Amino acid sequence: MSDAIEIPEALQQLVDRSNLIGDDMSLVVYGGGNTSSKGEVKDHLGRLQEVMWVKGSGADMRGSILSDYPGLRLSELLALRNMDELTDEQMTDFVTRALMDPSARRPSIETLLHAFLPFKHIDHVHADAICALTNHADGKRITAEALGEGFAYVDWMRPGFELSKIVGDLANYDGVVLAHHGLVNWAEDSDACLARTREIVAKAQNFVSEYKIPAGPPARHDDLDDDEIRTLLLRLRGSVSREQRRIVRVDDRLRHVADHPQLDAIVAGSVSSADHMLRIKPLSLALSDQAREQENGIREAVDTYRAGYDTYVERNLDLMPEGFSGHDSHPRVVMVPGLGAITTGINQAEAKVAADIALHTHTVAATVLDTFGPPEPLAEAETFRFDYWPMELYKLSLKPAPKEFAGRVVAVTGAGSGIGRGIAMHLAANGASLVLADLDIDSLEGVGAEITGAGGAEPRLVGGDQSDPLVVSSTIQCAIDSFGGIDGIVPNAGIGVPGNLDDLTLEQWELGLRVNLTSAFLLTQEAIRAFKIQGIGGAIAYVASKNAFGPGAGFGAYSASKAGMIQLMRIAAIEGGKFGIRANAVNPDAVFDNSKLWEGGVREERAAAHGIAPDELEDFYAARNLLNRRVTTVDVASSVAFLLSEKASRTTGCVITVDGGVSAAFPR
């Protein structure tokens, strides 16, 4: 049995310290900052090597693990200090060659800053309080007043070889403050390093709070009501999703900033730490009341923002790295008085990241404004050089490619079992943000747990009767409240209604129509209203049935309701076309897995109608179709996903049969 691998003490201390720092978002947010420790370890040949472990590029301190901190031969890093200059690419190449494990994670761009400082443990944090000291015209004086003359102050300089050499020469100070960047602190003991980091930041926080002259809270903007918010979300989502669908998310934690009387000045202050622009762009959009209240005001505000970003790119094209082009120009953060912030992303998690960063970056700018005067952004050229810095953009390349339905919002009814469950699982696996509805809330919760257990985004669940207009309205409202809008609906709620026409009661007949058809009409109606406000089209995929074209005796109420659904689909396609709304249907047959359609005596009744035993029914249906195949929920889900996707962007008014081939039910 092989011996367990011994973890160097300095490395374990680094991971533990970094996780504590990462848990405090006033120190670092999402991949920001970096930490290091130095120690000794034997290499693959048993030679004792002096090593520095440093946070890897793109790693997040919060929840970080050992592999997030690659080890490097310190002697090879120190040898680079004698160089006069190194480009980013040259520096990265040299640093990578110093890795103890060539397959390890790429080290931080600030690796040499840590290496050139002769201390065992180093923290570099982008603390809000430190940025509040520096991000204005009098930053150097205020920082000295707050922390004392023992701290060196370095004006903004993009991370790299030159900054590393400058900071390396400041080891005789108590620490280094980097303007628009944060704090570099060190100690010979890991616990002492963390304690000093916290102590210095607390000192800055106390200085800012005591320096500030209490002016009282700004006048509170009137709250927006629910209908105003939903209309705002739909219009905004339509405006920022024209190239790629995006989730939009409200965050009221930024209400105090959004309501600030000098919101425009706060937003103009840009990001508090340059790395924030990687995820929220250099500037946010401050939405005026006038833009919000006018029908086309939000789209015009977004268009103005986009034009401004495109112009900024054009002004700085001479600084654009070779092989790069302009980012998409949509805002990532929109500040809305009376509400807070609305942030965007391809899913809720990404939009939450943007909100967390915006909370810190704009709170810093508001603090600076109220304490020291207008926040001062980086010069535009420096902003652009960071905005399009390959070393920083490398972090984004580590993210997995978006899935097909990333950013898309779909509501599925009857999602607690059978076909609806299969569709929900399939769409979730492909990145969709889902609202799932069913009368059986327990089954619905089970599906939700399955989705999250498989790594999908947590769906929103709506329990209730989908033939109730209030429940249907709440389903679409849930999509808007949770994700900012709606891209597709799958009317699938249904029940089987067996019985010959002369035996059916009026109650049975009306129940079949209400559950199978009226529910689909109500959902269609609510979705179309939302699609129109949103202004980027939409897709409806009705789950009808083979019985719509090929009915059978003893199942008339069900067959009539599904035939009505096909006609509803056609009308939706006709009326919705000019708004970019597509409507199509799938006609499945004999889908049994996880289905409740066959409960309540339906299986037995259908088996009796065909003169077979109930347990022979699935094989009977498979044998009667042209392909002699059983039809599964996965088969239906794949066809529904196609109709909801961009692959079917030129398809509307269509019926796809998913029945194994029943000639009597061919569409015609």
Q: Which of 30, 309, 542, 558 is catalytic?
A: 558
Record the tokens describing residue 225, joined without a space.
């009501």
Q: What b/e readout covers 296-330, taking b as 16+ CB neighbours within 10 angstroms? A: ebbbebbeebbeebeebbeebeeeeeeeeeeeebb
Going edge to edge, which strands form the sheet with 333-336?
247-251, 340-345, 333-336, 285-286
Cα dist from 12 to 66, 112, 635, whole Å: 7, 21, 49
Q: Hey, what are 463's tokens?
A: 């329990």
Using only C-alpha atoms, what is the Rg of the chain?
Answer: 30
Neighbours of 516 (CB within 10 A): 29
* Residue 599: count of CB within 10 angstroms of its CB: 11
Among 421, 427, 414, which Cα is nearest to 487's?
Answer: 427
| Conformation bin of residue 238: beta by default, left when phi > 0, alpha when psi is -120 to 50 | alpha
* Known catalytic residue at 558: yes
What are the Cα distances from residue 506, in Å, to 403, 509, 514, 587, 609?
47, 5, 12, 26, 22
How far is residue 442's CA from residue 457's CA, in Å, rounded to a whole number? Answer: 19
Chain centroid to CA 82? 44
Per-residue buried b or exposed e for 9-19, using 16+ beta carbons within 10 Å of the residue's own CB: ebbebbbebbb
CA 18 vs. chain centroid, Å, equals: 24
Half-sphere exposure of 637 (CA within 13 A, CB side): 20
How many angstroms separate the Cα of 170 from the Cα of each of 35, 162, 196, 203, 533?
A: 18, 13, 17, 21, 58
Nearest CA among 175, 608, 181, 200 for reference residue 392: 181
Closest CA to 248 of 402, 407, 405: 407
Per the CB < 8 A criterion, the answer to whether 190 and 17 are in contact is yes
Angle between helices 226-240 and 297-315 (to 10 degrees): 40
CB within 8 Å of 49: residues ≥ 6 apart: 40, 41, 42, 43, 73, 74, 100
Cα dihedral: 517, 520, 522, 528 (round 10): -140
For the annotated catalytic residues, the residue numbers are 558
